[in-house]
Amino acid sequence: MQEGAPIAGAELCGVWDDLRAIAGAENLRPGEPGDSVAGVQPEMVIEPANETELAGALRCINAAGLAVVPRGGGTKLAWGNRPACANVVLSTARLDHVIEHAWADLTVSVEAGCNIQNLQNALGCHGQRVAVDPIWPERATVGGVLSTNDTGTLRIRYGALRDLIIGVTIALPDGTLASSGGKVVKNVAGYDLPKLLTGALGTLGVITRAVFRLHPLPHNVRSSTLMVRDLEAANRLMLAVQGSRLAQTGLQARFMAGLGPEVDVRFEGTDAGLAAQAEALQKLADPAIEAVAADAVWQAREKLWSSPQKAAIAKLSVVPASISGTYSRIRDLADSFDVKWSAVVQGTGLGWLRLEASRSDAIHRVLITVRTELERAGGSLNLLHHPADMPAMDAWSSAGDAFPLMLRVKQQFDPRGTLNPGRYIGGI
Amino acid sequence: MDARILQEFRAITGDRGLITSPEELKTYECDGLTNFRVIPRAVLLPRGTEEVQSIVRVCHRERVPFVARGSGTGLSGGALPVENGVVISLARMNRILEVDIPNARVVVEPGVINLEVTERVAADGFFYAPDPSSQSVCSIGGNVAENSGGAHCLKYGFTTTHVLGLEVVLPDGSLAHLGGKTLDTPGYDLPGVFVGSEGTLGIATKIILRIVKRPECIQTLLAAFDSTSDAGAAVSGIIAAGMLPAAIEMMDNLAIQAAEAAVHANYPNCGGLLLVELDGPTAEVETLMRQVDEICRQCGAGEIRVAKTEAERAVVWKGRKAAFAAMGRISPNYIVQDGVIPRTALPRIMSEIERLGAEAKIKVANVFHAGDGNLHPLVLYDCRIEGQEHAAEVLANRILELCIEAGGSITGEHGVGEEKKMMMSKMYAEPDLETMQRLRCAFDPDLLSNPTKVFPRPRLCGEQPGEYRPHPLETAGIAERF
């Protein structure tokens, strides 16, 4: 038994030795409480240097019948359900390079462990960016953001991660390194696996690198905040902006406890274009009071996670015209159960809700009721964070009749259930 | 085909929904790619989802391969029938089911024509963005199968960007709803893999589309350059200036000549023609258009025209949209390719294509989406001249190899289909293809849905329960079991 190796069954010892041979002793250590996922503490943590080592480590873990938690920055490990089993944290921390920034082609190839801020800084040297604004960009990695499909305010103009990713390389549990897509934006050769992996929570393969299409950084940016009378007025304004000829790159409503609703609108472009749109917005929004937006409004979503011990945070999806109906229902339910609520809702209909109360069973009641009603209307509610003592509920909304197909996909890619078992939809 | 099976089909679709006469079957023997022809055993025309399910259940039970077909305008042989299989035409399922303007969503049956969607929502100031040149005849279902693009996908994205959800009949006849009207539906992005799967994963029977608000102002600039390299330099300049036009198209002299002969496009007779379209708020477009004009002049543009009205723009686009069809005016036969290269490789690849063409004594006309590096080299030949057809095929393949070598793709829009499946082994390594096949096994383990397309070697998915029955493709020696 090597010094520092976990004291456990023969399987774990054998795997420990194999992993040490693959990544080196200094890149393998026993798991600690800080490595836990939903209270399940893995026995080991490995940090391979590159995708070949990562694939080798994964094959070895899979062959031994152990369970893997892929980890980038670890910012969203609490998303999803409790793992059925978690033996090894497979960290992408050392796969952090920007491989190639082909700026003249507007593409970048980057390793999965590179954090978003570092990536954007590198791209900024040529006046470009990946047009996505996830939360915690200074810690969240490319792989993690893709696997959780965490998109922000830029989505309304530039699309989701699925629209920005053009190529991906993954390590499958049997050790295969497979690539799909390529380095060019237009490519319909073969199946679109980059999309399959986006939002898959690492349950089909571990992303080792991704290729993104890029956009130029805007020359000028101008944002306005409009104070509106109530939820209905906020929804009407957002729909009016979307139905107009304005070319907004950000459109959100903030419903904060104790404050009137506010709608933020962002424009990018030439000075002339911004001036004309600001004027058009004023006319459209009348009689709402307009002010120059504080920079921080576009980080409002991240703020929902401040001091979250007694709070639940959920991601909701509804159609844009249902925003006020949905959130007034939430307001009424929350009031009746003595739960405080706040939300940041994008013009696309995606929203993040925070519920807070001294009694977590009240929070639970509100979440379950809202989820049932949303699903009936074709929407969804996924739980991202909850108080430790809240009664259990599935983190994911239902996939309906598509679930058997999803299960078959999982079985094809990960037949032994090595990757994040139990954390994904329907217990996958 | 077994009379008993035909009888079952007839009971499902009615007499008018079943075609079995040889003369009529011939109409379905190929799609827009006429080099490959296969007569199907029967053609079925279901009227709705239940009929599609019933048909597919029979096919599944009897192990009859099937190919779904929209308008049959595809250019890669995606709708080419499979030996001993049937064609399921979605042409009768052509209703627009729902138009939801406040939420910018439209629900359609697969046989709806692409342009019909835009026509339906135009009065409310919307349009359906993916605009392949065949949009007045191609179907949404076909667009879904191929993930069709068009000139405006530079800014607006492809079909997959605009499909939010699908009702799909899986190859065993069961129904699954992938995605939905809201964003980020729970679970795997199955709509994302279904779009562009070229009919190999099932049949879409309802599609939820996203429509886009028409911008305030659209202007198209046309600029004449002495060569395609000069035009290419202008494109680089536009990208470097941080602009994202709605479309950037380029045509070389041969293509210009063809367009003139066919539709009298009245383009300037030059070495390289550039079309740059900008859209957005009026003040923004006018400012940026002045910049584009300046960049073009700096790169040596001679004549520059700016089209500002709908009518002016239609005239400017007429020649470009008619380009493929126009080739018939200057050549008896042609092969159209659809390779993609990184945009910066354009000048190098263009001169390489010219060199190869001169070597083979074959002319190549070039039309391409210059903004995203999607080339459409039109390899012109006369099949009556001995050896020319073969030389043209060799050249077309060599051009695709150039694209792969440059880090691009063998297909930007037209799909792999039948035509380019052998090239898949050059573009992707074995593990990559094998991983994609795993996905196929999840949807179509019995390999019945357009089974011979996309992949160079179809692979059957492991053991089937019950008595062993060889798959028709195994018997034909095309497939291997793994």
Ranges of each domain in chain A: 98-216, 220-301, 304-397
pLDDT tens-digit series, residues B32-70 = 988 899 999 999 999 999 999 999 999 999 999 999 999
| pLDDT score for A381 | 98
* pLDDT(B114) > 60: yes
| pLDDT score for A1 | 36
Under CATH, what is the fold of the domain A98-216?
A: 3.30.465
Q: Quick count: other Cβ atoms within 10 Å of Cβ B277?
A: 26
State the Cα torsion B152-B155-B158-B162 to the nearest 10°.
-110
Considering the domain architecture, whether residues B50 and B73 belong to the same structural domain is answered as yes
Considering the domain architecture, whether residues B66 and B184 belong to the same structural domain is answered as no
| pLDDT score for B478 | 63
| pLDDT score for A182 | 84
* pLDDT(A4) > 50: no
Residue B69: give the domain boundaries.
3-89
> Looking at CA atoms only, how far is residue A3 from chain B in angstroms?
38
> Span A308-321, mean pLDDT?
97
pLDDT tens-digit series, residues A126-181 = 999 999 999 999 999 999 999 999 999 999 999 999 999 999 999 999 999 999 88
| pLDDT score for A8 | 55
% helix, strand, coil for chain A, step of 5: 35, 25, 40
Report chain B's terminal Cα–Cα distance, integer Å.
28
Considering the domain architecture, whether residues B155 and B168 belong to the same structural domain is answered as yes
Please indicate whether residue A425 or residue B316 has the higher confidence score (pLDDT). A425
Contact A199 B197 (CB under 8 A): no
A60-82: string of b/e by CB count within 10 Å (b at 16+)?
Answer: bbbbbebbbbbbbbbbbbbbbbe
Using only the alpha carbons of chain B, give its radius of gyration.
23
Residues B352, B355: Cα–Cα separation, whole Å? 5
Domain boundary residue, one of B375, B405, B435: B405
Q: Provide the CATH number for the domain around residue B199.
A: 3.30.465.10
Domain assignment of residue B302, yes or no: yes
If we measure between CA atoms, which residue out of B74, B5, B95, B78 comes closest to residue B44? B5
pLDDT tens-digit series, residues A109-122 = 999 999 999 999 99
Q: Provide the CATH number for the domain around residue B15.
A: 3.30.43.10
Say yes or no: do domains A98-216 and A220-301 share a fold.
Answer: no
Within an 8 Å CB–CB cutoff, is residue B432 touching chain A? yes
Residues from chain B that touch A265, judged by Cβ atoms under 8 A, are none
Domain assignment of residue B397, yes or no: yes
* pLDDT(A288) > 90: no
* pLDDT(B139) > 70: yes
Domain assignment of residue B446, yes or no: no
* pLDDT(A212) > 80: yes
Domain assignment of residue B198, yes or no: yes
Q: Is A153 within 8 Å of A346 (Cβ atoms)? A: yes
Domain assignment of residue B330, yes or no: yes
> Span A365-390, mean pLDDT?
97
Domain assignment of residue B205, yes or no: yes
Considering the domain architecture, whether residues B361 and B222 belong to the same structural domain is answered as yes
Mean pLDDT of chain A: 94
| pLDDT score for A23 | 96
Under CATH, what is the fold of the domain A304-397?
A: Alpha-Beta Plaits (3.30.70)
Contact B190 A182 (CB under 8 A): no
Which residues 202-221 of B have a C-beta within 8 angstroms of A? 213-216
Which residues 401-420 of B have a C-beta within 8 angstroms of A? 407-416, 420
**Tokens 């250590």 -> residue:** A29
| pLDDT score for A137 | 98
Considering the domain architecture, whether residues B357 and B388 belong to the same structural domain is answered as yes
Q: Which residues contact B430 (CB under 8 A, 6 or more apart)?
A: none
Contact B435 A176 (CB under 8 A): yes
Site from B106, B183, B286, B444 to mutate, A interface, most A CB atoms within 10 angstroms: B183
Within an 8 Å CB–CB cutoff, is residue A243 touching chain B? yes
Indicate the pLDDT class of residue B4, thresholds 50, 70 and 90: very high
Indicate the pLDDT class of residue B465, thresholds 50, 70 and 90: very low
Considering the domain architecture, whether residues B240 and B350 belong to the same structural domain is answered as yes
> Span A402-412, mean pLDDT?
97
> Span A248-258, mean pLDDT?
93
| pLDDT score for A183 | 86
| pLDDT score for B328 | 83
* pLDDT(B371) > 90: no
* pLDDT(A7) > 50: no
| pLDDT score for A184 | 87
Considering the domain architecture, whether residues B16 and B122 belong to the same structural domain is answered as no
pLDDT tens-digit series, residues B400-453 = 999 999 999 989 989 999 999 988 998 899 999 999 999 999 999 999 999 999
Which secondary-structure segment (H or E) carries B200? none
Within an 8 Å CB–CB cutoff, is residue B49 touching chain A? no
Residues A164, B155: Cα–Cα separation, whole Å? 12
Considering the domain architecture, whether residues B269 and B287 belong to the same structural domain is answered as yes
> Span A357-367, mean pLDDT?
97
* pLDDT(B350) > 60: yes
Domain assignment of residue B417, yes or no: no
Nearest to A412 among B125, B176, B442 (CB): B442
Half-sphere exposure (Cβ direction) of A329: Cα atoms closer than 13 Å: 14
Domain boundary residue, one of B352, B373, B405: B405
Contact B102 A239 (CB under 8 A): yes
Is the pTM higher than 0.90? The answer reads yes
CATH of domain A220-301: 3.30.70.260
Considering the domain architecture, whether residues B102 and B13 belong to the same structural domain is answered as no
Domain assignment of residue B472, yes or no: no
Angle between helices B346-360 and B228-240 in degrees, nearest 10: 160
Distance of CA B187 to the CA centre of its chain: 28
Considering the domain architecture, whether residues B363 and B256 belong to the same structural domain is answered as yes
> Span B227-254, mean pLDDT?
91
Domain boundary residue, one of B405, B425, B449: B405
Considering the domain architecture, whether residues B229 and B375 belong to the same structural domain is answered as yes
Which residues 218-237 of A have a C-beta within 8 angstroms of B? 219
Within an 8 Å CB–CB cutoff, is residue A179 touching chain B? yes
Contact A406 B411 (CB under 8 A): no
**Tokens 């040490």 -> residue:** A20
Considering the domain architecture, whether residues B27 and B175 belong to the same structural domain is answered as no
Mean pLDDT of chain B: 92
* pLDDT(A92) > 90: yes
Tally of domains within chain B? 3
Indicate the pLDDT class of residue B469, thresholds 50, 70 and 90: low
